[in-house]
């Protein structure tokens, strides 16, 4: 359990509850050697029969995989029964279920309402996320040196007076605040984005008001630290924040990056 807990108490509690409810009842009294693909496949089928959503089933498969990988690292198992012996992915019985992709869109009117409702320090973060489609980790790692607001570019999707290079991202899967900067997940993630006039003006104003000389990061907290995963959420008025889980203007930054702006 130590490797699974992580630094955040809420995360430890959440993971522990998942293990107690969905993994221990089936596997808790079995020796590691008794685990095989067929048994895991039957457990996966039982989760589906319980009515769990595909995303939830996949979460528990991933958690079980983490436990089994830890067992392999500690020499309790020669290899994980979730994985093919060739290490070329999971066995068929343990593959993730297909998940319907749900897009969350925000209208121009909603974006303006959110930008006006949030604290001025986070206004540019919200607008740039919506106008460029950048991921939260990319925004959290963005530096002023990564952009040229006076170098025009037409990237095929947007033509504008400025450009921005995406060369790194901040990774914090446990949302603990103790993540790290790293390169994009894929080569395609390392890209140059054209910035339209509105985005350039938003960034210039943010630079004038909130530039952090010490870190060089574009988006920081008042103390100079990088933005947290729920950046600005606590600054939203209650009525605006209440819409966070419904795709309305209160969504955290990660939920507005696929904006539908006419």
Give the residue extent of every domain in the chain.
2-94, 108-255
Q: Do residues 157 and 194 make contact, with C-beta atoms less than 8 angstroms apart?
A: yes
DSSP 8-state symbol, 189: G
Q: Do residues 149 and 204 make contact, with C-beta atoms less than 8 angstroms apart?
A: yes
DSSP 8-state symbol, 95: P
CATH architecture of 2-94: Orthogonal Bundle (1.10)
User: How many Å apart are CA 172 and CA 136, to the nearest integer?
Assistant: 10
- Report pLDDT for 256: 52
Tokens of residue 95, six digits? 């593959």
- Report pLDDT for 151: 94
Q: Which residues contact 148 (CB under 8 A, 6 or more apart)?
A: 162, 163, 164
- Report pLDDT for 24: 92
Average pLDDT of the chain is 79
Instruction: Give SS3 for 171.
Output: strand
pLDDT in tens, 188-197: 778 999 999 9
Task: Tell me: pLDDT of 199 over 90.
Answer: yes
Task: Tell me: pLDDT of 91 over 70.
Answer: yes
Sheet of strand 147-148, all strands in order from the earlier edge strand to the far edge: 147-148, 162-166, 191-195
For the beta carbon of residue 3, count every other beta carbon within 10 angstroms: 11
pLDDT band at 206 (very low <50, low <70, confident <90, very high): very high
pLDDT band at 251 (very low <50, low <70, confident <90, very high): very low
Bridge partner list, 199:
none
User: How many Å apart are CA 212 and CA 219, to the nearest integer?
Assistant: 8
Task: Tell me: pLDDT of 176 over 80.
Answer: no
Mean pLDDT of 222-236: 58
pTM of the model: 0.56
- Report pLDDT for 1: 43
CATH of 108-255, picked from 3.40.50.2300, 3.40.50.261, 2.30.31.70, 1.10.443.10, is 1.10.443.10
Mean pLDDT of 50-75: 90
Bridge partner list, 162:
195
Query: Among 72, 73, 26, which Cα is nearest to 50's?
Result: 26
Share of the chain above pLDDT 90, in %: 30
User: How many Å apart are CA 74 and CA 68, to the nearest integer?
Assistant: 10
Mean pLDDT of 63-69: 89
Judged by average pLDDT, the poorest of 11-15, 125-129, 148-152 is 11-15
pLDDT band at 226 (very low <50, low <70, confident <90, very high): low
- Report pLDDT for 252: 43
User: How many Å apart are CA 247 and CA 252, to the nearest integer?
Assistant: 9
Mean pLDDT of 41-70: 91
């Amino acid at each position: 359990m130590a490797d699974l807990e992580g630094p955040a108490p809420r995360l430890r509690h959440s993971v522990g509850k998942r293990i107690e409810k969905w993994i221990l009842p089936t596997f808790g009294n079995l020796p590691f050697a008794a685990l095989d693909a067929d048994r895991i496949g039957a457990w996966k089928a039982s989760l589906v029969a319980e009515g769990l959503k595909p995303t939830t089933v996949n979460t528990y498969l991933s958690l079980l995989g983490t436990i089994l990988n830890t067992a392999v690292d500690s020499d309790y198992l020669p290899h994980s029964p979730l994985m093919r012996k060739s290490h070329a992915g999971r066995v068929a019985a343990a593959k993730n279920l297909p998940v319907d992709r749900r897009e969350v869109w925000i209208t121009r009117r909603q974006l303006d309402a959110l930008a006006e409702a949030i604290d001025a320090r986070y206004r540019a973060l919200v607008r740039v996320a919506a106008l460029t489609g950048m991921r939260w980790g990319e925004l959290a790692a963005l530096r002023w040196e990564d952009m040229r607001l006076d170098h025009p570019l037409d990237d095929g999707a947007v033509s504008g007076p400025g450009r921005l290079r995406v060369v790194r991202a901040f990774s914090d899967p446990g949302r603990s605040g103790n993540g790290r900067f790293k390169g994009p997940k894929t080569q395609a993630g390392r890209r140059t984005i054209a910035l339209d006039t509105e985005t350039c003006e938003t960034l210039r104003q943010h630079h004038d008001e909130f530039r952090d000389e010490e870190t060089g990061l574009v988006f920081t907290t008042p103390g100079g630290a990088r933005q947290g995963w729920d950046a600005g959420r606590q600054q939203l008025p209650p009525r605006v924040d209440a819409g966070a889980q419904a795709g309305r203007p209160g969504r955290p930054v990660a939920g507005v990056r696929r904006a539908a702006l006419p």
